[in-house]
Amino acid sequence: MRRAVESWRTKMSNERTYKHYFWTQEDAELALTQDSLFPPEVWEAYHALTTPKHMLELLKYMTLLIHGGVVVEPTIMRDGNLDSIFYNKIDHNADSERLPTFVTGSSPLHKATPTFCLHNGFIAATPGHPYTARVIEFIVNGVRNRHTSIDYDDMMCPYASNYVGHTQLHPSEFTVGGCILGMAINSVLGREKTHPLYPEDRDYTLLYHNPNDMGSRRFTDVRTNLMAYSTDFGFGNIEDA
């Protein structure tokens, strides 16, 4: 993991636009508890989570909501220039550029069929982004109401039958992970929560996941055809679901 972390630290040190911070769980808690940035209900849900990984997932969204920026897990190795991802053409025939307000990766849950689940090891967002706010809302409500796989199946109605078994096989993805993030994005956009998310969509920047790209799992911006990051951690047999 040290090499993955250094891939960000070293490249960012040569760029004036970005600053690199390595935060532990304690660092994030300290930064977010100042000035009562979140109501007690959010912290109640945070402390009710049973594993450090789940707690860190919620901290990730909370950090992005307040501070914005890029949150990267230590298992992610940077492959490309961030500007090539964040600044891209709205229209390839136009001269205008934009700064995408939300960037993340697609999920390996389905090899061929697009899904609403995402890979959230890399997320970039502007402060106060509605996607981030909605996913925190979903997580907090789910934890405080003790949601089970049956409740998450109910959230996916009337299309839950298309994802039978996912909530049982990958429960954390619906509690705090990439699936609840995708459902939150669809909710903000006024769509069915299970609406597939495509890299070509303009409401976000979704980096395409290829599980066997030159011997690694790489995530590519399909608009510019440039690699963004890669990882081989945290998937297990998830792609075989």
pLDDT in tens, the chain (241 residues): 666 666 666 666 566 566 777 788 888 888 888 778 899 999 999 999 988 889 999 999 999 999 888 888 878 888 777 776 776 533 334 333 444 467 888 765 444 567 888 888 889 888 899 999 999 999 999 999 999 888 888 887 766 556 656 777 777 888 998 889 999 999 999 998 888 888 778 788 888 887 777 777 888 887 778 888 888 755 443 343 3
CATH assignment at residue 219: 3.90.550
**How many structural domains are present in the chain?**
1
Q: Which 8-state DSSP code applies to residue 92?
A: T
Residues 196-231 as b/e (b if ≥16 CB within 10 A, e otherwise) read bbebeeeebbbbbbeeeeeeebbbbbebbeebbbbb
186, part of any domain? yes
| Residue 176 contacts residue 54 (beta carbons within 8 Å) | yes
Q: How far apart are CA 150 and CA 140, in angstroms?
A: 17
Q: Is residue 141 part of a domain?
A: yes
Q: What is the dihedral of CA 74, 142, 132, 200, to 10 degrees?
A: 90
The residue range of the domain holding 70 is: 2-234
Task: Please check whether residue 240 lies inside any domain of the structure.
Answer: no
Sequence-separated (6 or more) residues with CB below 8 Å from residue 171: 149
DSSP state of 223: T
Question: Is residue 239 one of the residues assigned to a domain?
Answer: no
**Is residue 241 a part of any domain in this protein?**
no
Judge whether 174 lies within some domain: yes
Within a domain: 172: yes
**Does a structural domain hold residue 96?**
yes
Q: Looking at 28-101, which runs of residues are DSSP E strands?
A: 69-72, 77-78, 88-89, 97-98
